[in-house]
Structure 1
């Protein structure tokens, strides 16, 4: 950003005004990345259906959601301990890149608790929602 006018004199006011306009324009298009945390194991068909609902809800809220339990079970076998561990590791890497963790449902599985603990450790904001996508708590 050029902080000098046409005559070569410092002009910080104009430069600051232009920077503010640019920041405002970026803010209009900004979408936070959110990590979707919900049960997978157990009743996987129901849990996957709910996870898709949660993902759509997050999209409708203007975020860029990521749900690793909708992605990695397509290529990794969750019943194989090594592949499950690998999928969880991949999820943890993505969690660190997200702006928030959104926890859905009334039940916290072991895998979900690992994600919550990681978010707490790295001070990633956590929002809790019930199964109907109504927010119940924010940390």
Structure 2
């Protein structure tokens, strides 16, 4: 059975680059035998939620985090940094008692990235 994970990576900012990165993260997660939910790729599609409207952005983030009820882990990909939205996801996972894992698909030092983000 595939492990259910919430995938965390930045979205706001350089949206096009962040979408491309998030897609690579989904691919990596699938290759690890996981079933990831990447709500920032799903809910931000045209006609669903507008990420530039704060209330809609928050609703999309919260909808993705509702998956905590069934997720076995929150997987944070750190290559593009740890954004406020990613921090929010990490905090929610920790509060829910869900394990948080940090990963790099670009061979970066994950420990250093976490230290720089002051987590």
TM-score by length of 2: 0.83
For 1:49 and 1:41, how far apart are their aligned partners in 2? Answer: 13
Check conservation: 2:37, 2:64, Cα contact below 8 A.
no
For 1:116 and 1:95, how far apart are their aligned partners in 2? Answer: 11
Check conservation: 1:34, 1:98, Cα contact below 8 A.
yes
* Structure 1 position 79, deviation (Å): 0.7
Give the count of matched residue pairs.
Answer: 108
* Structure 1 position 41, deviation (Å): 0.3
Q: Does 1:79 align with 2:39?
A: no
The list of structure 1 runs, each at least 4 consecutive aligned residues, that deviate by more than 2 angstroms after superposition, is 133-137
Query: Partner residue of 1:23?
Result: none
Check conservation: 1:100, 1:125, Cα contact below 8 A.
yes
For 2:17 and 2:75, how far apart are their aligned partners in 1? Answer: 19
Give 2:104's match in structure 1, choosing from 106, 123, 130.
Answer: 130
Higher relative CO (Cα under 8 Å, sequence separation at least 6) belongs to 2
Query: Partner residue of 2:70?
Result: 97
Q: Tell me, which stretches of 5 or more residues in structure 1 are unaligned?
A: 1-29
Higher CA-based Rg: 1
RMSD over aligned Cα atoms: 1.7
**Which structure shows the bigger proportion of residues in helix conformation?**
1
Give 1:61's match in structure 2, choosing from 11, 27, 32.
Answer: 32
For 2:103 and 2:16, how far apart are their aligned partners in 1? Answer: 20
Check conservation: 2:28, 2:105, Cα contact below 8 A.
no
Give 1:116's match in structure 2, choosing from 86, 90, 107.
Answer: 90
Query: Partner residue of 2:19?
Result: 48
TM-score by length of 1: 0.72
Distance change in 2, residues 1:103/1:126 (3 Å): same
